[in-house]
Chains A and B, each alone.
Chain A
Amino acid sequence: MLSIKNLHASIEGTPILRGINLEVKPGEVHAIMGPNGSGKSTLASVLAGREEYEVTEGEVSFLGKDLLELAPEDRAREGVFLAFQYPVEIPGVSSTNFLRTAVNQVREYRGLDALDAVKFLTIMKEKMKLVEIDQKLLSRSLNEGFSGGEKKRNEIFQMAMLEPKLAILDETDSGLDIDALRVVSNGVNKLKSPDNATIVVTHYQRLLDYIVPDYVHVLYKGRIVKSGTKELALELEEKGYDWIKEEVDAAV
């Protein structure tokens, strides 16, 4: 589904990603962990099409298409979804209007009819239950004045509405209390299917008790330096990253 080969990316001339290789197949859950500043969000942003990052080498294909060729909106329409680490507050844009515009543009791209207001609301109500999000939040401007937890919940709600094929969750769990974490992970799990895949970026093993990964990767200094199964996450939880850093730095 997603195939990343030797991906290098830099920002303002500073290399951040230095040769990422990753294969994700339908139905799989991949966890990406790693110390602060190792490039996790950069990878997520590059996949979503953020223009500030310059891809200097490598390729990414998504369902057979060259992902890097596509505009951010077309990536989303093809089925890539990024849950932002820091969702943006947009005053003056109502959550509902925004979502309806987004859903209908995605549908149009996929050759489906636009949803009318009634249908849209029905689907919205249904998905709201999934992530236990309050109607009141959605009548406000997009993310404006939302708490950290509410923003994260809203990301998952948007994901539910857009039904992506590949979801990239960038620290969706950070800062959530246990109840919110349970709700958010339940939402993600309910949306999982044999046809879609998930990449979860996280610092905390506890998320992986809820969203069980097939693979765990460690990103460090812009490279995936170790891959394993969920046991690797437990080991990291116990021992931290120093041993990996030492291994890598010794090899250089």
Chain B
Amino acid sequence: MTTITKHKITDLFLQNKPLTQNFENLRKMGLETLEIKGLPALKEEEYKFTQISKRLDQQITNFKAAQPASLNKELIQKAIFEGFEGDIIVFNNGEFVPTLSTVSHQNYSFSLLSDSKSEILGSIAKVENDPFVALNNLSFKDGAFISVPKGKKVEKPIFLLHFNQANQGQVINQRVLIDVAESAEVTFLENTISLDEEVYFSNSVVEVRVAQNSHAHYYRLQNENRKAIVVNNFVTDIHRDATFTSVATQLQGGMLRNNLTMNLLDSGCEGNMYGLYLLNGKTHVDNHTNVDHTKPHADSNELYKGILADSSRGVFNGKIFVRQDAQKTNAFQQNNNILLSEEAIINTKPQLEIWADDVKCSHGCTTGQLDEEALFYLQARGIGKEQARGLLLFAFAGEVMEHISYEPFQLYCTNLIQERLGSKF
């Protein structure tokens, strides 16, 4: 163990008994991995810019699972945005809340992980990929399993709504498994609401299987309190002719680390990753993305954009792996950043490993300030400086929002962004 001491992790692990044999197995694997590797050390390359272990050591004094917080209908109502129609699955510190959720089971089914027979749990997000997957393995109590049967389209989006709050423990474990069967279609929305301003550590793992010829979209908003420490491991297996699109928007938090992995497992499949981070204060956001092209004729598209103000910090690391077999791959990656203050920092790094010879790959990253020429041009037409800035910043950021194809959520995120950009940033 490196920074988080062994007994802290053991505390977490002893807190509950595994509900199923499968959970028990996962827990064993997690524990073994952590005993060997521990949580990321200070010099660990993958976490070089995001010292999450250190932050946990300093700020998480009660390394125990948080107990359910008190929730009510009003809180849910407040979290629903204009135009939303669909099912809402509510989680209270990672635990599913049946009384506050609406689960119609229309063209999909929902159950607790402990009740599901699915055998793929833990096979998509692997312990060896990230120590926080291992940590989640040994500490989650239960989770959600959502499956869409073959050929079905879930007409309305499924909204995963998390409420987080430190409560007799500061650790929140979330585990979600999504299984989209052949030729099915579904859209997920996710938002997390912090119930107060106290520090918590949320460690979530989402595994998604997108089976042959199916289409899935996952639109996620992270707008948590200014102390929240969040690690998210989101891993998708994308099968033949299937498409998966992720749009992730980060507006606030203490330290957020997102590991987003797309395994393109067969020909004709497509993985899209879009991200926007608008940071101010001391928010630290790290997006590590990873696309694995394994077979010929698969495409990946990636665009992450960031606007950083005050002394915020952003990290973008985009790994594209093209295996020898993956001829005719198209892989595109872009990361563009605007720094609005001298104290803001961005570390951006494309990481391309290409073993096939007949591929189209491109990547680019830019970091700059607000375009002063453009600002002057707008002002010279009578537009006030603040508004001109807002217009330009929104023009930069808005491109990412266009990829949210569920309009009410697009509007909701867009409004939040415009509010942020219109005011003093």
Contacts and interface: CB of A to CB of B under 8 A. Distances in A.
Interface of A: 48-52, 71-73, 75-77, 81-82, 84, 87-88, 90-93, 98-99, 101-103, 105-106, 109, 141, 158, 162
Contact of B382 (A92, A141, A162): A162
Contacts of A101: 383, 387, 391
Given A50-B376, A88-B374, A88-B377, A93 B383 contact: no
Contacts of A158: 381
B377 A76 contact: no
B398 interface: yes
Interface string B379-421: 1111111011001101110110000000000000000000000
Contacts of A52: 372
Contacts of A76: 379-382
The 6 closest A-B pairs by CB, nearest first: A92-B395, A76-B382, A72-B379, A106-B382, A102-B381, A88-B377
Given A101-B391, A105-B387, A77 B382 contact: yes
A77 B378 CA distance: 12
Contact of A73 (B374, B384, B395): B384
A199 to B, nearest CB: 15
A109 B387 CA distance: 15
19 contacts: A49-B376, A49-B379, A50-B376, A72-B385, A73-B380, A73-B388, A76-B379, A76-B381, A90-B371, A90-B378, A92-B395, A93-B378, A93-B395, A101-B383, A101-B391, A102-B383, A103-B382, A105-B383, A105-B387
B385 A73 contact: yes
B82 interface: no
Given A71-B385, A88-B373, A88-B374, A93 B391 contact: yes
Interface in B346-385: 371-374, 376-385
A112 to B, nearest CB: 12
Chain B contact residues, majority secondary structure: helix
A92 B371 CA distance: 13
B379 A71 contact: yes
Contacts of B399: 92
A84 B377 contact: yes
Contacts of A106: 382
Given A71-B385, A101-B387, A105-B387, A48 B380 contact: yes
B224 to A, nearest CB: 28
Interface string B288-332: 000000000000000000000000000000000000000000000
Contacts of A49: 376, 379-380
B391 A98 contact: yes
A31 B384 CA distance: 30
A92 B398 contact: yes
A71 to B, nearest CB: 7
B396 A92 contact: yes
Residue from A52, A75, A87, A98 with most neighbouring chain B CB atoms (10 Å): A98
Given A92-B395, A98-B391, A87 B377 contact: yes
Nearest to B386: A73
Contact of A102 (B376, B382, B385): B382
Contacts of A51: 376
Contacts of A105: 382-384, 387
A67 to B, nearest CB: 13
B40 to A, nearest CB: 37
B366 to A, nearest CB: 13
Nearest to A104: B382
B346 to A, nearest CB: 20
Nearest to B393: A92
A91 B394 CA distance: 11
B382 A98 contact: no
Contacts of A71: 379, 385
A109 B381 CA distance: 13
Contacts of A98: 378, 381, 383, 391
